[in-house]
Amino acid sequence: MLDVLMARWRQGHRTIAFPQPAPPLPDRFRGKPVIDRARCPQGCQACADACPTEALKLDSGNVRLDLGRCLFCTDCAQSCPDNAVSYSQDYRLAVRRRDDLVIGADDRALPLAAALDEQLQRLFGRSLKLRQVSAGGCNGCESDVNVLNTIVFDLGRFGIQFVASPRHADGLLITGPVTENMRHALRATYDAVPPPKLVIAVGACAISGGPYVGHDEVHNGADSVVPVDLYVPGCPPHPLTILDGLVRLLGRV
């Protein structure tokens, strides 16, 4: 027992000081994509042609990027002959409306998730219980959601906790593209959560279907079955991206 206590003393405090100051990120971190319009030649379709989910589109010479479809795979950046596409260190990507995830080649800031209204903040601001539903996911987003419970991120210090039963939950956190086999289960789980309730879609699959978009056996995301209050893009989203979205929703940033 003494050895355990000594080891813990040597390790010190391991929880990151989120949200202030900004956490350090590795050099290879892929945050919000940046499109340099000055380097983007007219009529070049290289990035759009390389995108596996059609997240990038050129409309009358204007570049449009749907972060809800983006897999952050760098195929667009690697295919661009003029290096017009790059990835920043900005992990803050969560929004409240699906349309807000569609951005252009400009400096417009992403409209980050606004806090819940005053009544819902009183209900959930200090204690939010979530039931996680994997609606056909690959376990990538699920793994990063689980990481939030470790001492590094310490989700519980914000009053957020995952529970086993939807009847004990205040909302759902959904991952996966919503396969046909999971559609009814997702709806039944949503109905079991007592109102008022929240729904959080985490990852490209849960937002748009991800790499499976358009497949006959998927429903292209959670909002095809249940209403969604928070969208967290990524494939998978970094744990900090998920955590940032959750605390913004609760008005804790």
Question: For 102-143, what is each residue's pLDDT tens digit?
Answer: 987 665 678 999 999 999 999 998 999 999 999 999 999 999
- Mean of pLDDT values over 39-48: 76
Domains detected in the chain: 118-249 (3.40.50.12280)
Question: Which runs of E-coded beta strand occur in the chain?
Answer: 33-35, 56-59, 62-66, 85-87, 102-104, 128-134, 160-162, 171-175, 198-202, 230-232
Nearest to 69 by CA among 206, 172, 186: 206
Q: What is the pLDDT of residues 65-80, one digit of tens each?
A: 999 999 999 998 898 8
For residue 136, count other CB atoms closer than 10 A to its CB: 23
pLDDT tens digits for range 140-196: 999 999 999 998 999 999 999 999 999 999 999 999 999 999 999 999 999 999 999
